[in-house]
A and B are shown apart, each in its own frame.
Chain A
Amino acid sequence: MGVIVLLIIVSVFVAGGFLIAFLWSVRTGQMEDDYTPSVRILFDDEVKSAAYKKNDKIEENVINHLSK
């Protein structure tokens, strides 16, 4: 029967582990946003398109537009 005592103590500690995991996740703000991470994971890494060339003229245009 003594083993039951041990098992109970172990089970409470295992459950306690989950409780600590829950408290930690709340503390670090993982419960705050339940939408963005699900979207974020679907984004592809870096798509290098042919258009990826630095074009100084466009940058100038933007700067001009900004300072207009």
Chain B
Amino acid sequence: MAQHCYHCGVDCDDSILWNDKVFCCAGCQLVYQLLDENGLCQYYDLTDMPGMTAKGHFVSDKYNYLDNEAIQEQLIQFKVGDQAHVVFYLPQIHCISCVWLLENLHKINPGIIQSQTHFEKKEIKVVYQPSLITLKELVQLLAFVGYAPVIHLGGNDWLKKKKVNKKQLFKIGIAGFCFSNIMMLSFPEYLSNNAVELGNLRVFFIYINLLLSLPVLFYSASDFFISAYTGLRQKWLNIDAPIALAIAVTFSRSVYEIVTQTGAGYLDSMSGIVFFMLIGRWFQDKSYDSFAFDRDYTSFFPLGVTVLQDGNEINKPLAELTKGELVLIKTDEMIPADSILLSDGALVDYSFVSGENAPIEVMKGTLVYAGGIQKGRAIRLEVVKPVGQSYITELWNSPLLKSEKNAEKSFVHPWSQYFTIILFAIAISSGIYWSIYDTSKIIPAVTAVLIVACPCSLLLAVTFTYGNVLRWLGKSKFYCKNASVIEEIAKIDTIVFDKTGTLTNHAETRLDYEGVPLSHFEMLAIKSITKESLHPLSQLIAQYYFSKVDGVVEVNKIENFIGKGTKANCGDFEVLIGSASFLASNHIAVNQQPEGSVVCLAINNQFKGAYKVNHTYRSGIFTVANNLKKRGYQLHLLSGDHPAEKNNLIQILGTDVTLLFEQSPIDKLNYIQQLQSQGRKVMMVGDGLNDAGALQKSNVGVAVTDQSHLFTPASDAILAGEQMSVLDELINYAKKAKLIIVLIFSLSIIYNMVGMYFATSAQLSPMVAAILMPISSISIVALSALLSYLVSSTIRSKN
């Protein structure tokens, strides 16, 4: 009888009943009890089963390093008297209940004065009294209720980022204010057509306009001038150069007209252009704050380690770990540096480092590598190499990665250069024309050309289209670091996949049993035995039988042999579950052990069969691969795993897909580089630390993640695992962005030609400019939004 845990919603049997509610484990039950006791059960009313599974996730010693004052200082934002402010990143925040619980933490512990969440950034700001609750206790409490914070040292970068963003909003606000007021005050000028005598009022309006345009020119538009200047200093004409020129010419001609009282100038057009372009940039820069794209290996490693010194456990920051020290690693902790195992045996999960499926048994005295996660009980290690020189971390020091990604200039920039050249050609030729026919019109015509033909429509088309495309991709859970990633995706011709965790699903491990069919009672016995052990494989077996048989039976005698297996008596049966060598040592002949299996089973001294761990392939993944092949992409597969699946994959993917197995992280990195040296543009799709180098090296690195709050290695884009099934459509959509831009750009050329007609014939009145400018800007923005919406239908329908 499958039920859902009242706290976390995980399927479970009704073995833990408390207050008429079913819980999957003692952890979930305790969280419920804690909330219940503090009158916080509204948590469960706001959303159904909002909690995080507590099972195995809570290790209280994990945060011991927070007692270290140097670490505390880095985390606490400020401290006045007995009040400290601290901000944590809680990636688990996902619903209203989360917000509610986190903002009511003060009811659980009086030491917490106030806590405030930021839903979109998934952050919580806590004000607390260090005399009543220590930082460690605070983090433990958060972790206990299911919101373990992700802690980075020296991670105050986000503060800087925020300030930059604010400045941009200030500039937009001021430009908008000035633009709308100038526009309003210019109306009499346009409408009067000199028919009504405005007298002094006209002069008054014009001078107010001039005054209002000053903050636009000197504050709001300053970025364009700075960018153009730095571009020119590097002898490079970027897209901001013609814009800066247009703004400068417009302003000087306006000032000239106002001072000589020959006209009202084009101040409204100028401030309008600045306003629209700032909005465009803001729209494009709107980034995914809660994602970090630039993580290096340090984000994966713990901040502190437990070091054994003269028999005492001492917490030490990871960076201070030196060769020869003894380290204590508890269950589910990560091995911080390459070390020698001193304890009897360990079960290390290297899936993140190497891509191997199953945890590996390690014997005493052998080398264990940094990045592995200890799955068995606590072990002692002797550090052989400091953290920075360990096998996995060396990848980051590899000279192959030192070469920065060749930041290719956007295709917009060469266009803007042609644009500038054509612009000058038109300006000069109209100047020559008027020097022959009417010299008084030289200056008006030339300046009008420069005013009207500003490449802002091109810039708007680009910024808004990329902004829209980023947003639609984001809605499909494909988060790109920035707009240039979209351009890069359009150039891709080769796609390299990782297997474990990318093509397969980390979260869904499938266990297969091969051997003699088991009776109902035998299955029940195995379920009851394996349920008792915390060994991950044992847990998997228990889960395997969970859906097959109901209930449990009493287990009489149970003996665990660490690193080998379990021996137990259940009814009349003596059950042995463990490695083949464990069965052999109990004098049981293991015949026909299926390939790739990890756990063998014997009942009453008879070998029954074996269990095989398989990760299931993501649904639709092979359709995607075939679609991509049809679209002309070259596909490759690099796996760190053993080639057991090779024949299977060849059958599904076809023989034209390169399949490589047992690839180390460096192999993957080299392979990408080799492809690139053949002139191919490579997209790497991977998930683990073992792909990190390849992700970094490739033209577009896409990190696949099943839970957005899990760590992803440094990448250009993050893709939710379930969206792998529409990867081909997502790539196709990103490709179409360029097409949209070209279309909109042609429209803006038409506007420019109309403007040019007025300009070169020296008829450009402020009113024509003031009409043309907003019409072109608004229609471009609207068209960009419309086209990117229509084209996105292919990815929306699959959501």
- Which A residues fall within an 8 A CB radius of B? 1, 4-5, 8, 11-12, 15-16, 18-19, 22-23, 26-27, 31-36, 39-40, 42-44, 47-49, 51-55, 58-59, 61-62, 65-68
Is the pair A33, B99 in contact by a Cβ cutoff of 8 Å? Answer: no
5 contacts between A and B (CB under 8 A): A12-B208, A16-B177, A33-B119, A36-B120, A43-B103
The number of A-B residue pairs with CB atoms under 8 Å apart is: 94
List the 7 shortest-distance A-B pairs measured between CB atoms, nearest first. Answer: A52-B39, A19-B177, A36-B119, A35-B119, A26-B169, A22-B173, A58-B33
Is the pair A62, B39 in contact by a Cβ cutoff of 8 Å? Answer: no
State A14–B345 Cα separation when bound (angstroms): 76
Give 12 new A-B contacts, CB below 8 A, not counting A8-B185, A34-B120, A53-B37.
A12-B208, A15-B177, A19-B174, A23-B170, A32-B118, A33-B119, A36-B99, A40-B99, A43-B100, A54-B37, A58-B34, A61-B30
- Tell which of B26, B162, B173 touches A19, judged by Cβ atoms closer than 8 Å: B173
Q: How far is the CB of B102 from chain A (nearest CB, A)?
A: 10
Nearest A residue to B54, CB-CB: A65
State A58–B284 Cα separation when bound (angstroms): 51
Is the pair A48, B39 in contact by a Cβ cutoff of 8 Å? Answer: yes
B60 is an interface residue with CB less than 8 A from chain A: yes
B204 is an interface residue with CB less than 8 A from chain A: yes
User: Which B residues touch A66, using CB under 8 A?
Assistant: 60, 140, 144
A26, A31, A49 pick with most chain B CB within 10 angstroms: A26
B121 is an interface residue with CB less than 8 A from chain A: yes
B166 is an interface residue with CB less than 8 A from chain A: yes
Is the pair B37, A59 in contact by a Cβ cutoff of 8 Å? Answer: yes
Is the pair B30, A65 in contact by a Cβ cutoff of 8 Å? Answer: yes
Is the pair A26, B173 in contact by a Cβ cutoff of 8 Å? Answer: yes
State A25–B406 Cα separation when bound (angstroms): 40
B556 is an interface residue with CB less than 8 A from chain A: no
User: Which A residues touch B121, using CB under 8 A?
Assistant: 32-33
User: Which B residues touch A32, using CB under 8 A?
Assistant: 118, 121, 162
State A11–B169 Cα separation when bound (angstroms): 23
Interface string of B99-129 (1 = CB under 8 A from A): 1100100000000000011111100000000
User: Which A residues touch B117, using CB under 8 A?
Assistant: 36
Nearest B residue to A42, CB-CB: B96
- Tell which of B37, B120, B180, B204 touches A5, judged by Cβ atoms closer than 8 Å: B204
B613 is an interface residue with CB less than 8 A from chain A: no
State A30–B680 Cα separation when bound (angstroms): 46
State A7–B96 Cα separation when bound (angstroms): 48
B619 is an interface residue with CB less than 8 A from chain A: no
Q: How far is the CB of A22 from chain B (nearest CB, A)?
A: 5
B527-564 contacts to A, CB under 8 A, are none
Is the pair B169, A31 in contact by a Cβ cutoff of 8 Å? Answer: yes
Is the pair B39, A47 in contact by a Cβ cutoff of 8 Å? Answer: yes
User: Which B residues touch A51, using CB under 8 A?
Assistant: 36-37, 39, 41
Nearest B residue to A56, CB-CB: B37
Q: How far is the CB of A52 from chain B (nearest CB, A)?
A: 4
B201 is an interface residue with CB less than 8 A from chain A: yes
User: Which A residues touch B173, using CB under 8 A?
Assistant: 19, 22-23, 26
State A23–B39 Cα separation when bound (angstroms): 40
User: Which A residues touch B83, using CB under 8 A?
Assistant: none
User: Which A residues touch B184, using CB under 8 A?
Assistant: 11
Q: With contacts A5-B204, A34-B120, A35-B119 known, is A40 near B39, CB below 8 A?
A: no
Q: How far is the CB of A43 from chain B (nearest CB, A)?
A: 6
User: Which B residues touch A19, using CB under 8 A?
Assistant: 173-174, 177
Nearest A residue to B143, CB-CB: A66
B42 is an interface residue with CB less than 8 A from chain A: yes
Q: How far is the CB of B315 from chain A (nearest CB, A)?
A: 16
Q: How far is the CB of B670 from chain A (nearest CB, A)?
A: 43
User: Which A residues touch B429, using CB under 8 A?
Assistant: none
Nearest A residue to B93, CB-CB: A36
Is the pair B208, A39 in contact by a Cβ cutoff of 8 Å? Answer: no
Is the pair B37, A39 in contact by a Cβ cutoff of 8 Å? Answer: no
B746 is an interface residue with CB less than 8 A from chain A: no
Is the pair A49, B41 in contact by a Cβ cutoff of 8 Å? Answer: yes
Q: With contacts A15-B177, A15-B181, A26-B169 known, is A62 near B119, CB below 8 A?
A: no
User: Which A residues touch B174, using CB under 8 A?
Assistant: 19, 23
Is the pair A61, B201 in contact by a Cβ cutoff of 8 Å? Answer: no
User: Which B residues touch A48, using CB under 8 A?
Assistant: 39
